[in-house]
């Protein structure tokens, strides 16, 4: 997978999400104020919003439109640069304009109907662009190496895990499906659920074997890691500990944190390996399915 392209596209997606939040907040403000100011507007017609009478409202509207247009141009440039003619002009977002009219008698004003139409177009096209980018994120091709590893993990699940632990197998296969679709956060969260289930069982085993009961003691973390290294193949497979650390330290509680494809794959493979190793040392029993 072209990870750099994915990261850039994800960053563009996040910009659209943030814009949508700002836009929705602004729209609530604008439409909340319009009923108050319209009856007092003096302009060419009752659908006019005088700039002089409503400077802050006018400035807010123009700023959100300008922000939208800047993001549109950035998006069109990015998609043109990376996809060229592979994407139709019809699905690309287009700039939207709100004009300030001027009347000799009443001064500068914005036509409210034009404003509402522009805001509606921003809302519709913005949502469509989010869906477009989300779809593109899911279609960035896997590299032969990534495909090979996913196939290997699927085989491991079907042969070693599914016959004994079908529920674990189903979660792991779902994590693989999400990864193939480019939903790396979803894949990681599913993998993480499996990882933490195994981690909790390791913790119980450690406390029982070492008679260790203080969950806040930093020594427990080291004992658990030593257990994984010595009894679950953690020394030979560094991904086991990395998968646990990545999920526990970042993706389980950091709002807005998103894994890169390579990080999601580490957590996915780590989850599969942990279940297999847990079965080997009877940390998981077949009857738990």
Taking only the tens place, the pLDDT of each residue in 151-174 is 999 999 999 999 999 999 999 999
44-102, pLDDT tens digit by residue? 455 777 777 777 778 888 899 999 999 999 999 999 888 877 788 888 999 999 888 88
Same domain, 80 and 151: no
Which of 77, 107, 137 is the last residue before a domain boundary?
A: 137
Question: Exposed/middle/buried for 124, CB within 10 Å: 0-12, 13-18, 19+?
Answer: exposed
Higher pLDDT, 289 or 12: 12
Given a contact cutoff of 8 angstroms between Cβ atoms, the answer to whether 108 and 99 are in contact is no
Q: Is 253 exposed, middle or buried (0-12, 13-18, 19+ CB in 10 A)?
A: exposed
| Same domain? 253 vs 166 | yes
Q: Is the pLDDT of residue 38 over 60?
A: no
283 lies in the same domain as 152? yes
190-245 pLDDT per residue, tens:
999 999 999 899 888 888 877 655 555 667 778 888 888 888 876 666 778 888 88
Amino acid 243: pLDDT: 87
* 233 vs 170: CA distance, rounded Å: 24
Evaluate whether 9 touches 140 at the Cβ level (below 8 Å): yes
98: DSSP letter = -
- Which residue, of 112, 137, 162, is where some domain finishes? 137
Percent of the chain with pLDDT over 90: 33
pLDDT at 105 over 70: yes
Determine the pLDDT at residue 126: 93
Q: Name the more confident of 39 and 117.
A: 117
The number of CA neighbours under 13 Å toward the Cβ of 81 is: 9
**Residue 35 clears pLDDT 70, i.e. is over it:** no
Same domain, 86 and 188: no
Return the residue matching tokens 């994120």.
137
Same domain, 116 and 159: no
Choose the final residue of a domain: 137, 168, 200. 137
Contacts of 88 (CB under 8 A, 6+ apart): none
Q: Are strands 100-103 and 48-50 parallel, antiparallel or unpaired?
A: unpaired
> Based on the domain organization, do 54 and 180 belong to the same domain?
no
Residue 258 has a pLDDT of 76
Q: Which strands make up the sheet holding 100-103, listed edge to edge?
A: 48-50, 107-111, 100-103
Residue of 146, 246, 151 lying closest to 192 (CA atoms): 246
Q: Classify residue 45 as exposed, middle or buried by CB count within 10 Å of its CB (0-12, 13-18, 19+).
A: exposed
Are residues 126 and 157 located together in one domain of the fold? no
- Confidence band, pLDDT 50/70/90 cuts, at residue 128: very high
From 130, 156, 139, 120, select the one nearest 237 (Cα to Cα).
156
Give the three-class secondary structure for 215.
coil
Are both 128 and 232 inside the same structural domain?
Answer: no
What confidence score (pLDDT) does residue 41 get?
Answer: 41
Contact 84, 53 (CB under 8 A): no
**Can you read off the two tokens belonging to residue 105?**
């008698």
Other beta carbons less than 10 A from residue 220's beta carbon: 17
Residue 278 has pLDDT above 80, yes or no: yes
pLDDT classification of 27: cutoffs 50, 70, 90? confident
Taking 80 as the threshold, does the pLDDT of residue 133 lie above it?
yes
Q: Which of 267, 262, 266 is nearest to 195 (CA)?
A: 267
pLDDT at 289 (0 to 100): 41
pLDDT classification of 39: cutoffs 50, 70, 90: very low
Q: Give the pLDDT band (50/70/90) at residue 134.
A: confident
Q: Which domain holds residue 251?
A: 144-288
Q: How many domains does the chain have?
A: 2
Q: Are residues 54 and 69 in the same domain?
A: yes
* Tokens of residue 154, six digits: 């699927």
Arithmetic mean of pLDDT over the chain: 82
Nearest in space to 47 (alpha carbons), one of 92, 112, 137: 112
Together in a domain, 275 and 175:
yes
Whether residues 63 and 112 share a domain: the answer is: yes
The Cβ of residue 7 has, within 10 Å, a number of other Cβ atoms equal to 13
Residues 107, 188 within the same domain: no
At residue 206, the pLDDT reads 85
In this predicted structure, which of 124-133, 134-143, 185-194 has the lowest mean pLDDT?
134-143
Place of tokens 């079965």: 279
Instruction: Show contacts of 164-171: CB within 8 Å, 24+ apart.
Output: 164/279, 164/286, 164/289, 165/275, 165/279, 165/284, 165/286, 165/288, 165/289, 166/289, 167/289, 168/194, 168/275, 168/284, 168/289
């Amino acid at each position: 997978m072209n990870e750099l392209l994915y990261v850039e596209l994800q960053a563009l997606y996040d910009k659209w999400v943030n814009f949508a939040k700002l836009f929705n907040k602004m729209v609530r403000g604008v439409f909340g104020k319009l009923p108050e100011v319209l009856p007092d507007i003096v302009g060419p017609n009752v659908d006019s919003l005088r700039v002089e009478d409503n400077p802050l409202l006018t400035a807010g509207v123009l700023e959100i439109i300008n922000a939208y247009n800047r993001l549109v141009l950035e998006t069109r440039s990015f998609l043109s640069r990376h996809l060229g003619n592979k994407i139709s002009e019809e699905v690309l977002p287009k700039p939207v304009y709100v004009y300030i009219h001027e009347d000799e008698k009443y001064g500068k004003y914005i036509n409210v109907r034009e404003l509402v139409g522009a805001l509606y177009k921003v809302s519709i096209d913005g949502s469509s662009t989010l869906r477009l980018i989300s779809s593109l994120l899911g279609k960035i091709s896997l590299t032969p190496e990534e495909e090979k590893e996913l196939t290997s993990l699927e085989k491991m699940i079907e042969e070693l895990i599914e016959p004994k632990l079908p529920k674990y197998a189903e979660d792991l296969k779902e994590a693989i499906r999400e990864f193939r679709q480019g939903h790396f956060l979803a894949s990681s969260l599913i993998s993480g659920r499996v990882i933490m289930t195994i981690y909790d069982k390791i913790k119980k085993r450690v406390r029982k074997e070492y008679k260790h009961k203080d969950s806040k003691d930093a020594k427990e973390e080291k004992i658990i890691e030593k257990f994984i290294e010595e009894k679950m193949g953690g020394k030979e497979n560094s991904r086991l500990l990395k998968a646990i650390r990545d999920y526990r330290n970042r993706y389980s509680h950091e709002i807005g944190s998103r894994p890169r494809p390579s990080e999601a794959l580490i957590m996915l493979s780590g989850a599969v390996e942990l279940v297999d190793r847990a079965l080997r040392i009877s940390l998981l029993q077949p009857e738990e399915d």
